[in-house]
Chain A
């Protein structure tokens, strides 16, 4: 992929622009369906299009900023936002984001840089990919294990050993949050905020940590956890966007193209939640996420070669990148096809019920 101006912004033609819009649409649909950010799909997707990992993360976090702002307003109207809790989390999450941006920038400046035919930023790409694979694998395997346990009729839900331990930790000072109606230790809050910020800053998916932590560790109702995380995501997105913008890693064109697809996809995905049962949602989500992780894994040898850790013909890069891209789009297209199938089937059924009602009336 050809890079322009400042070495690391890609050249955008209509074909690439359409692919970014499609990435946004798939990411948005998955995001609405899963209830977490779609960055786990959009960031690697952009990397497959030749966008530098650090620019993909920077542009995605800017995308997250605007999206969370629109979404948190609706949650606020429903009383699902605990602003005090978000404020406590946001302070430490800023430290996490700052740390993530600092690491990414250092690796970007240090890794690759032309040796072994490597483009600049191979070090950052490798690091981002490894974090991606680790987090996505843990999340996907937990989800799939829950599905299996439910299918076997074992237990009532996800395993809670770690969360039970953490929720019993009553290290003073304990802080009371009125909307969420919980008391949480300041230290646990700081830990969660830091981890959420670090992940949001590194791969753009802080929600993978933030929401489960709020539900299982703090004991907050799911709706309040989702609303508060979105409110928090707005601040984290703003802080991340500003930080990455300072470093010159936000490609506003990519952010705007992603919006074109994602804001439409979110509505469709959210509608899907209403018409698909929970176990099926977890199964589809788990499979999509695990294939996304696999897709990133396939790209790893390419970065290792670029950094000189592996001896390999540079011509193979195309195949690794191609395979990674195919897997990612397979996960995205497959997931979205399943969601769209259920959404349109439910929509058609609803219309036919209305027609029958109208007929009965006349």
Chain B
């Protein structure tokens, strides 16, 4: 049976609905206020954090750490409860904490403004005008909290499975409808969704452990977990933490391996088949070294019978990562084999060796060797499914689309890749390029060297002209008597300055790229 997460700004209504629903389904019931109490007891200043986030969103390092800590705590608590049994959760935006898990029904509960005003008048003993102002303020605060905390607009319908409007429906009928919905096969737990929940649980527990340990509490870490392998990325300014992280995470239940990667940002590489010896890998590695970036792999395939590549029906998500390290295989299988963790030591017997579908294992192993691994996923579905793997809390700087849609004709491949690029660029807000463009846009070769020489010559010529012509130039620059001179000077400066900045800026940028300093 699925878990049910109800989000609403009306505390009363969401509580009533959740409790009724939990009673009907025989579930436990959990609310935001319980979790906040637990978090506060654990030393997270939730009230202070909430005020700071709502009042002004400028994120200091300290505030960002507290936010990460809070999210890790709440997510870990939710995952722990989910492992114990089913429950109904109600809060403001709980649906955003465990995204991408298909056996959670995400409900948006809409309550009329009048009901909320009446509630405020009764509970807080306010006059109507004050109650109206109070409800408006609460709405704005919740809106800000969700926007700054999760980076989304809570009114976007795509993030919920269902919206229940209580204007024309009773609470009891809404509850009955959700009971029926919970019986639907679409929301039953699948091996993939349970694995995704396990991953999120491990990730949150690892983050929580790091946040609570005095050695790592003041560091900026990003944690991802896939199949027992925890990948922790840390900032270049905190290099000493790499040795401490494995010590802190030692003994964490479910953690088979800890990998630490120094990175300030992630590069997402989407491709159908990976090969650690290909040119794109070599080029991406060069860029990642310059940017202090981790490379995150996504093996993305589209089912041949898929009609709408952009969105619509959720097809299938199977996440697998670092199988080479974990020594397990779960590619597209209903039940993943329960192989024992072997620390990466394989038997000599060939038949036991896992088949590396799509080259993900070999490529991720190579990235681990060079200290650039940002984890890996295998996705099968449409563009929307792919988008679900791109998380808002990870700072991406570049998305690279490699060879995709291999079962289609060349023309279709080109078209679909272009459409996917546009789709992702619009939604993620980072540059999206194809692997063919890497050299041209981000690397330096013969062409870039020639360009640098050419631009340098142009810059030198411009500087020589200006500095050898100072005699006639200065009276022209300082003349205030002739209208014509003044107009020409204005236009000349307006046109000349950007040209110099562009030419010399390009020369400098290329020169530093040659020095691998970016």
Cα-based distance from A238 to B495 in the complex (angstroms):
10
Taking a contact as CB atoms under 8 Å apart, the answer to whether B509 and A65 are in contact is no
Q: How many residues of B contact A (CB 8 A)?
A: 62
Taking a contact as CB atoms under 8 Å apart, the answer to whether A251 and B504 are in contact is no
Cβ contacts B486-513/A at 8 Å (1 or 0 each):
1001100110111011101100110010
Give the nearest-CB partner of A255 in chain B.
B497
Give the nearest-CB partner of B487 in chain A.
A246
Taking a contact as CB atoms under 8 Å apart, the answer to whether A70 and B502 are in contact is yes
Residue in B61, B144, B475, B489 whose CB lies within 8 Å of A219 = B144
Neighbouring B residues of A155 by C-beta, 8 Å: 52
Knowing A156-B63, A219-B57, A221-B57, say if A361 contacts B512 (CB, 8 Å).
Answer: no
Any B CB within 8 A of the CB of A137: no
Knowing A242-B494, A274-B264, say if A156 contacts B52 (CB, 8 Å).
Answer: yes
Could you tell me the distance in whole angstroms from the C-beta of B416 to the nearest C-beta in chain A?
A: 23
Knowing A221-B57, A256-B463, say if A238 contacts B289 (CB, 8 Å).
Answer: no
Any A CB within 8 A of the CB of B369: yes
Knowing A6-B475, A150-B62, A267-B509, say if A253 contacts B467 (CB, 8 Å).
Answer: yes
Could you tell me the distance in whole angstroms from the C-beta of A73 to the nearest C-beta in chain B?
A: 9
Knowing A6-B475, A9-B474, A62-B497, say if A246 contacts B61 (CB, 8 Å).
Answer: no
Could you tell me the distance in whole angstroms from the C-beta of B276 to the nearest C-beta in chain A?
A: 12
Could you tell me the distance in whole angstroms from the C-beta of B74 to the nearest C-beta in chain A?
A: 18
Neighbouring A residues of B480 by C-beta, 8 Å: 6, 247-248
Taking a contact as CB atoms under 8 Å apart, the answer to whether B370 and A78 are in contact is no
Any B CB within 8 A of the CB of A115: no
Taking a contact as CB atoms under 8 Å apart, the answer to whether B497 and A66 are in contact is yes
> Interface residues of B: mostly helix, strand, loop or mixed?
helix
Residue in B61, B429, B477, B486 whose CB lies within 8 Å of A252 = B477
Taking a contact as CB atoms under 8 Å apart, the answer to whether B477 and A248 are in contact is yes
Taking a contact as CB atoms under 8 Å apart, the answer to whether A278 and B477 are in contact is no
Neighbouring A residues of B61 by C-beta, 8 Å: 277-279
Could you tell me the distance in whole angstroms from the C-beta of A29 to the nearest C-beta in chain B?
A: 13
Any B CB within 8 A of the CB of A120: no
Taking a contact as CB atoms under 8 Å apart, the answer to whether A248 and B478 are in contact is yes
Give the nearest-CB partner of A66 in chain B.
B501
Any B CB within 8 A of the CB of A264: yes
Give the nearest-CB partner of B474 in chain A.
A5
Cα-based distance from A222 to B501 in the complex (angstroms):
26
Give the nearest-CB partner of A247 in chain B.
B480
Any B CB within 8 A of the CB of A349: yes
Q: Could you list some 25 contacts between A and B, CB below 8 A?
A: A6-B478, A65-B497, A66-B502, A70-B505, A80-B429, A155-B52, A156-B62, A163-B56, A164-B55, A215-B56, A219-B144, A220-B57, A245-B486, A245-B490, A246-B489, A263-B504, A263-B505, A271-B517, A274-B236, A277-B237, A346-B236, A349-B239, A354-B289, A357-B371, A360-B369
Q: What 3 pairs across the A-B complex have the smallest Cβ distances?
A: A6-B478, A66-B501, A79-B429
Given contacts A78-B429, A346-B237, could you give 16 more A-B pairs where the C-beta distance is less than 8 Å? A6-B479, A66-B502, A70-B502, A163-B56, A167-B55, A219-B144, A241-B497, A245-B493, A246-B486, A248-B477, A248-B489, A250-B477, A259-B504, A267-B509, A275-B237, A361-B370
Q: Which residues of B contact A (CB under 8 A)?
A: 48-49, 52, 55-63, 66, 144, 147, 153, 235-239, 262, 264, 289, 292, 369-371, 397, 429-431, 462-463, 466-467, 470, 473-475, 477-480, 486, 489-490, 493-494, 496-498, 500-502, 504-505, 508-509, 512, 517-518
